[in-house]
Chain A
Amino acid sequence: MMLQSLTVLDLTSGLGAIAGRMLAELGATVTKVEAGAGDPQRADAPAFAAWNHGKRSSTADLATLVPQADMVIRNPGLDHAALLALNPRLIDVVLAPFLPGPNRNRPETDLTLMARSGLMAIVGDPDRAPLTMPGEQAHALGGIQAVIAALTALRHRRATGKGQLVEVSAYQAAVLANYREPLTWEWTGRVGARTGNLLVRGASGVRQVWRCKDGFVTWALVDNPPMMRGMVTVMGDAAGPLAEVDWNAILVADTPRPVLEAWEARVEAFFLERTRAELGELSARHGLGLSWIDAPADVLASPHLAARGLWREVDGMKLPGRLWVSSLDAPAPSGHVPGLGEEDA
């Protein structure tokens, strides 16, 4: 295992829990340090299992645990100097909504961080309120950045022999994910708006999500002539006016919406008569640029994800385990959700 000699104390609850999850997956010994009734997220059993399988749990004193640890991953609240006094080689990773500063005590949830990051302004439909993304993405992004921070500091410790404090901002992690909007304003003075499932690249917009016989697929009319000719070929007589289009002579991105709608009606009728698998097969064969859309149940049943060994059986559930596939054969870590304080016995 890549990080098998690493010892991590995980003091997070909710925000940052994915960090210890990832480190445990890489072979680190990750111990949740819990006090009293334990991590409040235990009350939400599915979420707790999702973010904590593969970790251990202890209710022991930090003064006992910290001297043996390589790193602590936590939210704000403890005194860094006190931790360092227990272990000068300690890497102390603190994940918070904001870095220390004027907003350090501002209350945040995943929803409000997503709003402030600008991501909500572009997600959703133009005729309704902005939407957040499913799950808790600002928390996840902050947590993965905490892993990057932790392992970067670990590398630095190899050179210096010393630990350090690393502070990570979940808000800034979410702002980085919103790579286009702040940049667009910086350079063009324009702000983006929600376009629903319309992909807007030029003066017009094209539809991206389609119903088919047994679910949904994603595909769009785009300025890629071979792809468009491939679709016309596959559609045969059903292509109607699409068969007359000279794809090299037009810019789909600037074609008026009513024209595109007439073309899209043909495509819609064609897709409605075919299954996701049939359309996926046609796309692979003819280079159409189409993907079927998997619902959660489809993801869980995906032969591809199973073949790559993604899943781990955890208390009767399939949860994501492996982070990637490696040429080094690594044994799977435990798929166990720790009971409160079970390491203490």
Chain B
Amino acid sequence: MTLPLEGVKIADFSWVGAGPRATKDMADFGAMVIKIESRKRLDLGRLSPPFAGKGRDPDASAFFAITNTSKMGVTINLGDPRGVEVAKKLVAWADIVVENFSHGYMDRVGLSFETLKSIKPDIIQVSVSVAGREGPLGTLRGYGNSAAALSGLAALSGWPDRDPHMPPFAYGDVVAPMFATVAMLAALEHRDRTGEGQHIDISQVEPLVHVLSDCLAREQAGGFAKPGNRSPSMAPHGAFPCRGKDQWCAIAVADDVQWTMLAELVGVGGDARFATLSGRKANEDALESLIADWTDGQDKHVLADRLSALGIAAEAVNDGRDVFTDPELATNGHYHRIDHPKLGRCDLPGPPMRFSAAEMRVENPPCLGEHNREVFVDLLGMDPAEVDALVQEGALA
């Protein structure tokens, strides 16, 4: 068995989350990804908790680890023209260049797309930024909440009777890199067919707009009020309290047959108000209150399994521990064990899929500058003494 992207070469200038999650996918599928970092301007991911051990060792961030598996790492100071010259050698080697610097940075250090093309005419460059490089907001500086704010995600999140809600994780940093992975794969296909490279400008806002397409269509088809947990086509459809502090079970009843079964358990089988979907929707407050009375005091996992066995979709509202220890993930190989000099033995997630005729890998994330010699000397053919001198002088640091 082989790795499906074996032979693909990526010079990865990206940092934090929005670029590195995409190149992690590519690396886990077998692409050779060389991550270019600098001690002068550490990848903020290396400074993000949780850390293995005490202190904040930049090689011991578990956040950085899950975002950078299977890559090689070198240090290049792009603020030094000699560093930029070495970066250009990596561009000449690469099929794909990825970056998510602030607007204009690549141009300022002398690595504009025009320059990259002059080095390698069929180069593919993928840039990820908050609102995209082109357009009136192209220079917008990114903050954690910008993509959620500008895409409609925040406005559509939260309870119908309350303010917009900021989901407490950077969803734009999740979906945009998935688009970037698709972009790299599609651009490789295009290049192999036509010989053409290209520069792809990915916004963090637009992928969120895409995954909210149905909400935007409903808005135009008659107005769309944010629904909380409710659904126009299913009732009950929500999270109900269970035994213990802040423990809940999500239940979604798809049709009247499922409702008949659930109503029997809840003890409201004879209540004509709830016999049809339209009746349940018209009396949803009362419906939810009766179900909550019944679920309260039951174990969330036992309840979910009991309803699932009847064919009714139900799952415990899991916390981080429930997810990490979910047997489903162990059975299907979601986590891969690594042994790392700073992190020790730990489990890192891999791509959520399985190929019948290819493998995937989840290997150690690089320590800062771990592969300097292997890349600069063995791969690029630079003189070892010159590399040492450039490291000493801070150009390769």
Contacts and interface: CB of A to CB of B under 8 A. Distances in A.
Contact of A294 (B66, B67, B152): B152
A308 B323 CA distance: 39
Interface string A44-65: 1111011100000000000000
A130 B174 contact: no
Contacts of A199: 166, 168
Contact of A132 (B141, B229, B234): B229
A179 B357 CA distance: 28
Interface in A222-262: none
Nearest to A142: B352
A331 interface: no
A134 B219 CA distance: 13
Contacts of A73: none
Interface stretch (A30-38, A265-273, A297-305): A297-305
Contacts of B51: 187
Nearest to A306: B135
Interface in B286-326: 308, 311-324, 326
Contacts of B332: 98-99, 101, 169, 172
A308 B132 contact: yes
A296 interface: yes
Contacts of B18: none
A6 B182 CA distance: 15
A91 B133 CA distance: 35
A211 B315 CA distance: 35
B174 A128 contact: no
A109 B254 contact: yes
A50 B25 contact: no
A92 B221 CA distance: 35
Nearest to A196: B165
Interface string B53-71: 0000000001100110000
A193 interface: yes
Interface string A145-160: 1011101111110111
A85 interface: no
Contacts of B167: 122-123, 133
Contacts of B313: 107-109, 111-112
A22 B179 CA distance: 10
Interface in B323-375: 323-324, 326-329, 331-332, 334, 346-347, 349, 351-358
Given A103-B328, A120-B239, A168-B352, A155 B149 contact: no
Nearest to B126: A324
Interface stretch (B245-253, B271-279, B387-395): B245-253
A304 B136 contact: yes
Interface stretch (B36-44, B75-83, B187-195): B187-195
Contacts of B155: 216, 293-296, 298
Given A121-B319, A166-B353, A175-B329, A148 B181 contact: yes
B137 A191 contact: no
A277 interface: no
A332 to B, nearest CB: 15
A320 interface: yes
Interface in B156-192: 156-159, 162-169, 171, 174-175, 178-179, 181-183, 185-190, 192
B216 A186 contact: no
A282 interface: no
Nearest to B356: A165
B228 interface: yes
Given A46-B217, A130-B239, A326-B201, A101 B192 contact: no
Interface in B97-117: 113
A67 to B, nearest CB: 20
Nearest to B150: A294
Closest 10 CB pairs of A and B: A172-B352, A181-B320, A115-B250, A156-B4, A151-B185, A185-B320, A187-B50, A134-B156, A46-B217, A50-B213
10 contacts: A47-B217, A99-B332, A111-B252, A121-B246, A134-B156, A134-B226, A169-B353, A172-B334, A175-B323, A327-B199
Interface of B: 2, 4-8, 17, 25, 29, 50-52, 62-63, 66-67, 113, 131-137, 140-141, 143, 145-146, 148-159, 162-169, 171, 174-175, 178-179, 181-183, 185-190, 192-193, 196, 198-203, 205-207, 209-221, 224, 226-229, 231, 233-234, 237-241, 246, 248-252, 254, 308, 311-324, 326-329, 331-332, 334, 346-347, 349, 351-358
Given A120-B250, A121-B319, A159-B2, 14 more contacts: A26-B186, A107-B311, A121-B248, A123-B168, A128-B159, A137-B211, A155-B189, A166-B356, A168-B352, A177-B169, A293-B149, A300-B220, A302-B150, A326-B198
